[in-house]
């Protein structure tokens, strides 16, 4: 199996490369997904039999302040990849990495059949990307919520924002299992416990300080990002 991984230098992309060692992981200079001509050219000249699309603009703040760029990257880039797949690689499996943030976060424990309702522009762009992915007969949409297994990037973490979090290495392993199982459609990759961001952060950064959402100033956040699954198994965060 020789997949094309977009965003191969990102947190999840790096972990996926361990499970797909023969993968193509072009830099942005080699594959600018926002340029449809360059995407088509890359697809026509390179040999691969699966696409794992992880590349995205993921900062909620940046997506709100630079909406044109967020749309160009998350929606336009995905659309370009879908178009090139249809034209040059119609039999390829296309794995689209989405997010738990497509849900409004008012309830939590969302299943694959739950109705999405984005709370911010980032989540909206990812949900629209899902719709494009569904145009391919051989698609998998992965909704999940992960972080790198590294020191927490902020001095504080929310005690009242929740998720069924996993580390990127857990998600990469699960994607390989899902691919091997040869299933299609939308699948949630979830942890078996619902945690606050603060509890998650303490795993890698014991000195992390707590904070409440009331202290936050910025775009709307998905407060409860916890996912459930009716199509796949759950994983232990480790």
Question: How far is 121 from 54, CA to CA, in rounded Å?
Answer: 18
pTM above 0.85, yes or no: yes
Tell me the pLDDT tens digit for each residue of 183-193. Answer: 999 999 999 99
**Positions of the chain with pLDDT under 70:** none
CATH superfamily of 3-148+166-190: NAD(P)-binding Rossmann-like Domain (3.40.50.720)
Tell me the pLDDT tens digit for each residue of 54-87. Answer: 999 999 999 999 999 999 999 999 999 999 999 9
What φ, ψ does residue 121 adopt, rounded to 5°? -70, -40
Question: How far is 36 from 38, CA to CA, in rounded Å?
Answer: 6
Give the start-to-end residue ranges of the domains of the chain: 3-148+166-190
């Amino acid at each position: 199996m020789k997949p094309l991984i977009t965003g191969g230098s990102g947190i999840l992309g790096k972990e996926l490369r361990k499970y797909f060692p023969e993968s193509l992981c072009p830099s942005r200079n080699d594959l600018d997904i926002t340029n449809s001509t360059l995407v088509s050219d890359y697809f026509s000249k390179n040999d691969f039999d699966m696409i794992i699309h992880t590349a995205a603009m993921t900062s909620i703040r940046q997506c709100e302040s630079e909406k044109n760029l967020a749309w160009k990257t998350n929606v336009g880039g995905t659309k370009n990849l879908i178009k090139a797949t249809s034209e040059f690689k119609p039999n390829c499996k296309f794995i689209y990495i989405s997010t738990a943030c497509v849900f409004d976060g008012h309830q939590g424990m969302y299943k694959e059949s739950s109705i999405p309702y984005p709370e911010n522009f980032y989540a909206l762009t990812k949900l629209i990307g899902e719709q494009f992915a569904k145009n391919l007969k051989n698609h998998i949409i992965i909704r999940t919520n992960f972080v790198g297994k590294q020191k927490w990037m902020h001095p504080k973490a929310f005690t009242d924002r929740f998720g069924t979090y996993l580390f990127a290495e857990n998600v990469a392993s699960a994607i390989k299992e899902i691919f091997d199982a040869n299933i299609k459609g939308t699948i949630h990759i979830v942890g078996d416990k619902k945690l606050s961001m603060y509890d998650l952060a303490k795993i890698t950064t014991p000195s992390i300080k707590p904070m409440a959402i009331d202290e936050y100033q910025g775009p709307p956040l998905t407060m409860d990002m916890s996912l459930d699954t009716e199509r796949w198994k759950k994983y232990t965060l480790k």
